[in-house]
């Protein structure tokens, strides 16, 4: 890639004594894995900017799976994610690292990611709202085409008080069964609008995104979730924190 484009570091790890292996989320090429040669050396001018949550302009070269970073410049200071909100940021970074294939552009998702980080950094609201909206954006951008507003069995519009049970690859079907996979019509309308006006719809959204994302994540636990649990236990003494 010859030109510059906007990007964020999703994940980085040491590579050799002085280099870094980075996963970028870029505006026009999605997730890109890049080798930053010498970025860990004392003289490197990249050492401070190649951090998560820092808006960057980057350019790289190479045609293989791992590109070579040519240059990177911070657009602004890192978005200030601290305390428990930091773990929300780590979570969305890990989510993208796990579910996105390399080299596929997600320009709309890139801006949803930036917007999510900005909301988290503002710390004016509980992060739950921003996280649920972002998870639904991830599913939508990956082609997850479930219809929240019609019964998959009859095709009829959903009714607020009716119960619908989710069936993978089919959608929501009217059912008298009430279990982990069941949602009211009111909850489904909230999912469709990505608006959660009360605790019940917010809780239902979290339950649904966990169900829908599981096939993409596989059986490997999320490290960011475990780190968050450790943080809660350390600060509250709660041995079984809500996740």
Task: Please give the helix or strand (H or E) that residue 114 lies within, else none.
Answer: helix 107-122
42 is in which domain, residue-wise?
A: 5-74
**Residue after which a domain boundary falls, among 51, 74, 97:** 74
Residue 227 lies in a domain: no
> Residue 2's pLDDT is what?
60
Residue 98 Rama label (left phi>0; alpha psi -120 to 50; beta): alpha
Residue 47 lies in a domain: yes
- Predicted confidence (pLDDT) per residue in 62-74, tens digit: 988 999 999 999 9
232 has pLDDT over 80: no
Residue 237 lies in a domain: no
**Residue after which a domain boundary falls, among 74, 94, 117:** 74
- Predicted confidence (pLDDT) per residue in 9-57, tens digit: 999 999 988 999 999 999 999 999 999 999 998 888 887 899 999 999 9
What number is the average pLDDT over the span 215-240? Answer: 77
Residue 87 lies in a domain: no
User: Domain holding 163: CATH number?
Assistant: 1.20.1440.120
What number is the average pLDDT over the span 127-138? Answer: 96
Task: Note whether 73 and 54 are within 8 A (CB).
Answer: no
The rounded percent of the chain whose pLDDT value lies above 70 is 95
125 vs 179: CA distance, rounded Å = 30
Residue 166 lies in a domain: yes
> Residue 88's pLDDT is what?
94
> Residue 4's pLDDT is what?
93
133 has pLDDT over 60: yes
131 has pLDDT over 70: yes
Domain count, the chain: 2
User: Domain holding 25: CATH number?
Assistant: 2.40.50.140
């Amino acid at each position: 890639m010859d030109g510059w484009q906007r990007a964020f570091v999703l994940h980085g790890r040491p590579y050799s004594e002085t280099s870094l292996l980075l996963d970028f989320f870029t505006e026009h090429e999605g997730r890109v894995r890049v080798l930053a040669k010498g970025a860990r050396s004392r003289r490197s001018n990249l050492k401070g900017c190649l951090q998560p949550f820092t808006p960057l302009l980057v350019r790289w070269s190479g045609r293989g799976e791992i590109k070579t970073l040519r240059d990177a410049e911070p657009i602004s200071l890192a978005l200030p994610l601290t305390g428990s909100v930091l773990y929300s940021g780590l979570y969305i970074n890990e989510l993208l690292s796990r579910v996105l294939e390399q080299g596929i552009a997600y320009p709309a998702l890139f801006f949803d990611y930036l917007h999510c980080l900005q909301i988290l950094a503002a710390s004016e609201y509980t992060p739950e709202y921003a996280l649920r909206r972002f998870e639904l954006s991830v599913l939508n951008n990956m082609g997850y085409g479930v219809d929240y507003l019609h019964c998959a069995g009859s095709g009829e519009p959903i009714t607020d008080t009716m119960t619908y049970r989710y069936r993978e690859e089919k959608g929501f079907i009217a059912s008298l069964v009430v279990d982990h996979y069941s949602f009211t019509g009111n909850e489904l309308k909230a999912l469709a609008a990505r608006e959660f006006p009360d605790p019940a719809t917010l809780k239902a959204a979290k339950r649904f995104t966990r169900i829908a994302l599981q096939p993409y994540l596989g059986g490997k636990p999320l490290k960011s979730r475990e780190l968050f649990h450790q943080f809660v236990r350390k600060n509250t003494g709660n041995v079984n924190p809500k996740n």
